[in-house]
């Protein structure tokens, strides 16, 4: 293994890490801000991929319009899911358990809906014009599109994070994680805040799905693969922790990129091994400072 | 009052047992006997799963791991050593499950709530991946076919009665455990863990014990299933298997000891009637789950009880 080969693998791992981070940051946003565990987050990723396919291939929009449409679509569907269903179980006894069950039922329903609408055969999406080539790095080629994902993905997540931490709206959203009653007494529409946060998070997931569509084939099972990967990411990083999700995605992306080369048959298993190792030595995740584990 | 309640419950179980015992006598086809066996085995799986969730609030999404372990213990000894190992291998599956559940349990009882669920899911999927990919040992996605129990157990009706007796005895044991001081402690853990700690009980040790017991009986259910279906496949370990047993518990009622057994019966009969005719069975399952969680969180048994109570409180008080 020479240096340029390692570099190309690193970049490929970074591309995967960026996509994973987009998904995992949405998952961790809903959890950290809304205290909601959205098992179906991967299904919004899948919906994003299908919506982008629908826009670009069936309606012939250009790739970037399709991507934005996919993010918006996934965001709206997420807001509907939150305001029609999830909102009804807030504050119930065993809320955490019911959230898991309800969002698990979303997975089953969304998966079959996708099959009904788009069929079971694999769909694919062309890379955007202008990003179909590749660049030479130390004599090895790497697709331009992969490099673009790394840049765009990071920019989107950083902007979303700046909105949450630097603006008033973001502060309100984060306050709702701490004390909803006080916030409501101060005149903030808490239910609306929750719905919006949910929408932003599922839009991030849908955006990732659209970006990933040209790289991986679009299938009904895609949501399940992604949710399990992003759960591993948040377990490694510490759930509800933004930078933890970033570190977790980076570790998982790179480990998988090299595992695919070294142990192709067992690459999928390696990611679980990383998680188990983290669990043994730091059960609260690498980035968590406080034992914030009781839900 | 307490003793009357106990007699009523014993009578309920006796009637249920007799009803299952009658099935082969009613000129049931071998398909119907298989369906009844499925209800029994899934019923045991669901009741032992609900010991964990309904009893202590530990929602595991990875119990399919132990179900598959029990089944593969039977299937693999059958494949490599022959059918004489059928009964010992059911015990072997339980022993392996106890050991594995202690190892995994020590890791995962350190966290609670959603994190517990995520970690059980991850271990379950890890086991599924290994089973699915390790062709040389587990047979990969072909599974293992033609697992026929030896001697008289190979007879379909005899195996049905064998399953009935094993499941009935297991549920009796689980009922005793649920009513024991440990069961009581665990119900208290769910409501107020701090108070249990102040009273000098180790929350974690109790949780580990119940996780182990639940997993052991789940492995027993898996072992029995290998003989019912005569084949095993990696999907027994897939997370939707865990999801199915969760739905059975929700359907029957998580707060009830025997609710999940009823839930298993309802879901299996429904799957037989509807699931075989549509390719969108998951959509139906998802919708049922959604409706139960949103509208009937106490499950069928719980809602019926609520109705009965309401009816009684209107009737003039007796005695």
Which of B112, B243, B293 is the closest to A98 by Cβ? Answer: B293
Residues in B closer than 8 angstroms to A290, CB to CB, are none
Residues 193 to 232 of A: which have CB under 8 A from any B CB?
224, 228, 231-232
Chain B: residue nearest A88 by CA?
A: B294
Q: Do B107 and A279 touch (CB under 8 A)?
A: yes
pLDDT one-digit tens code per residue, A246-294: 889 999 999 988 888 888 888 888 888 888 888 778 777 777 654 444 3
Chain A interface mutation, best of B187, B283, B285, highest count of A Cβ atoms under 10 Å: B283
Chain B: residue nearest A110 by CA?
A: B283
Q: What's the pLDDT at A295?
A: 33
Residues in A closer than 8 angstroms to B61, CB to CB, are 100
pLDDT one-digit tens code per residue, A74-86: 999 999 999 999 8
How many CA atoms lie less than 13 Å away from B276 in the CB half-sphere? Answer: 5
Which of A112, A269, A279 is the closest to B280 by Cβ? Answer: A112
Judging by beta carbons within 10 Å of its beta carbon (0-12, 13-18, 19+), is residue A208 exposed, middle or buried?
Answer: buried
Which of B61, B282, B294 is the closest to A112 by Cβ? Answer: B282
Enter the DSSP assignment of B180. S
Q: Would you tell me the crossing angle of helices B114-133 and A95-118 to the nearest 10 degrees?
A: 50
Q: What's the pLDDT at A293?
A: 40
| Distance to chain B for A14, nearest Cα, Å | 23
ipTM, interface predicted TM-score of the complex: 0.86
pLDDT one-digit tens code per residue, A85-142: 988 888 776 777 888 899 999 999 999 999 999 988 888 887 887 777 777 777 777 8
pLDDT one-digit tens code per residue, B148-204: 888 888 788 889 999 999 999 999 999 888 888 877 877 777 777 777 777 777 788
pLDDT one-digit tens code per residue, A30-57: 888 878 889 999 999 999 999 999 988 8
| Distance to chain A for B248, nearest Cα, Å | 12
> Whose structure tokens read 């090299």?
A258
Residues in B closer than 8 angstroms to A294, CB to CB, are 112-113
Q: Which of A293, A35, A241, A95 is nearest to B204 (CA)?
A: A293
Q: What's the pLDDT at A291?
A: 45
């Amino acid at each position: 293994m020479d240096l340029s080969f390692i570099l190309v693998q690193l970049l490929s791992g970074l591309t995967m890490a960026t996509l994973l981070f987009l998904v995992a940051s949405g998952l961790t946003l809903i959890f950290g801000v809304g205290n909601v565990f959205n098992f179906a987050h991967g299904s919004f990723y899948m919906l994003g991929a299908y919506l982008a396919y629908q826009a670009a291939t069936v309606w012939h929009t250009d790739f970037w319009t399709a991507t934005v449409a996919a993010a918006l679509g996934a965001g709206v569907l997420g807001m509907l899911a939150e305001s029609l269903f999830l909102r009804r179980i807030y504050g119930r006894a065993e809320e955490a358990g019911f959230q898991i069950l309800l969002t698990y039922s979303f997975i089953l329903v969304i998966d079959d809906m996708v099959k009904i609408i788009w069929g079971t055969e694999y769909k694919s999406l062309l890379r955007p014009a202008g990003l179909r080539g590749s660049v030479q790095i130390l004599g090895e080629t790497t697709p331009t599109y992969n490099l673009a994902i790394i840049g765009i993905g990071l920019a989107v997540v950083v902007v979303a994070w700046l909105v949450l931490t630097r603006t008033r709206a973001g502060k309100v959203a984060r306050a709702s994680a701490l004390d909803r009653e006080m916030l409501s007494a101060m005149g903030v529409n808490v239910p609306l805040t929750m719905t919006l946060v949910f929408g932003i998070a599922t839009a991030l997931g849908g955006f990732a799905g659209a970006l990933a569509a040209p790289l991986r084939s679009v299938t009904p099972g895609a949501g399940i693969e992604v949710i399990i990967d992003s759960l591993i990411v948040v377990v490694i990083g510490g759930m509800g922790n933004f930078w933890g999700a970033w570190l977790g995605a980076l570790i998982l992306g790179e480990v998988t990129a090299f595992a695919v080369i070294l142990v192709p048959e067992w690459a999928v298993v390696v990611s679980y091994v990383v998680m188990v190792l983290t669990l043994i030595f730091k059960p609260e995740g690498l980035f968590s400072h406080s034992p914030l584990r009781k839900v | 009052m307490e003793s009357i309640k106990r007699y009523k419950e014993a009578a309920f179980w006796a009637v249920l047992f007799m009803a299952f015992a009658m099935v082969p006598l009613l000129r049931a086809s071998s398909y119907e006997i298989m369906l009844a066996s499925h209800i029994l085995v899934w019923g045991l799986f669901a009741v032992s799963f609900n010991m964990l969730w309904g009893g202590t609030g530990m929602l595991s999404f990875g119990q399919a791991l132990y179900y598959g372990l029990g089944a593969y213990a039977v299937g693999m000894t059958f494949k490599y050593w022959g059918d004489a190992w059928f009964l010992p291998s059911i015990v072997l599956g339980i022993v392996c499950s106890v050991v594995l559940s202690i190892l995994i349990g020590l890791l995962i009882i350190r966290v609670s709530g959603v994190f517990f669920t995520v970690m059980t899911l991850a271990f379950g999927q890890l086991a599924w991946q290994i089973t699915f990919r390790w062709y040389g040992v587990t047979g990969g996605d072909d599974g293992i076919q033609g697992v026929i129990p030896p001697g008289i157990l190979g007879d379909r009706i005899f195996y049905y009665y064998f399953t009935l007796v094993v499941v009935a005895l297991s549920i009796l044991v689980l009922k005793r455990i649920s009513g024991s001081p440990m069961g009581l402690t665990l119900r208290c853990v769910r409501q107020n863990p701090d108070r249990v700690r102040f009273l000098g009980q180790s929350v974690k040790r109790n949780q580990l014990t119940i996780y182990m017991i639940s997993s052991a009986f789940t492995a027993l259910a898996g072992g029995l299933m290998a003989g019912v279906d005569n084949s095993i496949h990696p999907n027994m370990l897939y997370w939707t298997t865990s999801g199915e047993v969760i739905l059975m518990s929700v359907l029957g009622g998580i707060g009830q000891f025997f609710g999940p057994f009823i839930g298993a019966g309802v879901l299996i009969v429904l799957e037989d009637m509807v699931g075989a005719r549509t390719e969108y069975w998951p959509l139906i399952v998802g919708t049922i789950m959604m409706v139960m969680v949103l509208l009937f969180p106490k499950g069928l048994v719980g809602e019926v009880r609520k109705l009965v109570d309401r009816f009684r409180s209107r009737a003039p008080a007796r005695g």
